[in-house]
Chains A and B, each alone.
Chain A
């Protein structure tokens, strides 16, 4: 049972434009959400997080939006750069934090 879903396996964006990666979840008990970036042959690298008490969190070019009523979060990257090309995973945990649930990933390609 996939509790965190990323329905777009891939996304291509021109350099300088905005990249929007989407993630949906089903468990209303999730209260902490994260985005990770993964390059081939490396472990996931933490990018940005948001707790359920907020609806937006920014860190430089990266912004995560959380819509609790829709059980949806998105990651905006602006402007997109070729170095952003990677697989992006969203993850969620409940208040115990004992287990993180990951989506299946979205492969982002930023075209120079």
Chain B
């Protein structure tokens, strides 16, 4: 079975631009969460979605937004990119998101110049 997939794998943007990252969960999983991992730190929670509804939001500015589609895939959008947004963006899926194990994709490496 395919695991969590993310695209693109790498991305280079300049300050002020906008970026969209994509995630497809494990088949049968209905919840998707997004995390940001800066070098030397653990993943930081950004959003959780379940059945297309936002269930949780971490301490990130409104420049970060996300959505989940009827097929349970998800997009993370970041507007007005800052240098500090450079990070590995991880997507994780779980069956229903309620305190279950989350399974991570390989991540998208974003570099903002």
Contacts and interface: CB of A to CB of B under 8 A. Distances in A.
Interface of A: 4, 6, 31-32, 34, 36, 41-46, 49, 89, 91, 93-105
Contacts of A94: 99
Chain A interface main SS type: loop
Chain B interface main SS type: loop
Interface of B: 4, 6, 33, 35, 40-45, 48, 55-56, 58, 90, 92, 97-107
B48 A103 contact: no
B99 A43 contact: no
A98 B4 CA distance: 19
B27 to A, nearest CB: 17
Given A97-B100, A99-B58, A102-B44, 7 more contacts: A4-B42, A34-B101, A43-B107, A46-B101, A91-B42, A96-B56, A104-B41
